[in-house]
Amino acid sequence: MSESLFDRIGGETAVDAAVDLFYRKVLADDRINSWFEGTDMERQHAKQKAFLTMALGGPNNYTGRDMREGHAHLVAKGLNDSHFDAVMENLGATLTELGVPADLIGEAAAIAESTRNDVLGK
């Protein structure tokens, strides 16, 4: 593969376009928005951007341990597969809305999916 997923998708410009759209979907989704109640929206927005950057194959240095530690307090409160599925669905819907080709969406979904066990502390 000559060009990374991140470059083929449009790099940081694409992430910038996606992050507001994605975060709006998350906030409007009653299956998961209660997890974001009371959090600082600006900080959360930056974290959503970091998540999308990672899912789109962009620069990040997250480790499995970061994912585990970062979500452990939420797992303790009941974060489970159904919530992860909802986030995956919003990710797919965001990229579809932006006109990203299906095969690239599949690649992004696979990257996000690869964090499932660490995020859910399995």
Partner 1 sequence: MAKITYSEQTFEINKDESVLECLARHGVELSSSCRAGVCQTCMVKATAGTNPPAEAQAGLKPQLQKQGYFLACICKPGQDLSFVNPDDSALPQIAATVVSKTRFNDNIIRLRLKPESEFDFQPGQFLNIHREDGLARSYSIASLPQEGYLELHVELVENGKMSNWLHNQVAMGGKLNIDGPHGDCFYIDDKPEQNLLLVGTGTGLAPLWGIIRDALSKGHKGEIHLFHGSHSTDKIYLVDELKQLAKLHSNFFYTPCISGEDTHGFSAGRANEVALSEIPKLDGYRVYLCGHPEMVSSAKKKTFLAGASMNDIHADAFTLSNS
Binding site for partner 1 (CB under 8 A): 12, 19-20, 23-24, 27-28, 41-43, 45-47, 49-50, 53-54, 58-62, 66, 70
Count how many Cα atoms sit within 13 Å of the Cα of residue 49 in the half-sphere of its side chain. 14
Q: Which is nearer to partner 1, 23 or 84 (CB)?
A: 23
Minimum distance, C-beta of residue 102 to partner 1, in the bound complex (Å): 26
**Which of 65, 82 has the CB closer to partner 1?**
65
To partner 1, the closest distance from the beta carbon of 114 in angstroms equals 16
4-to-8, 57, 59 alpha-carbon distances in Å: 6, 7, 11
Tell which residue, 66, 56, 40, 58, has the closest CA to residue 104: 56
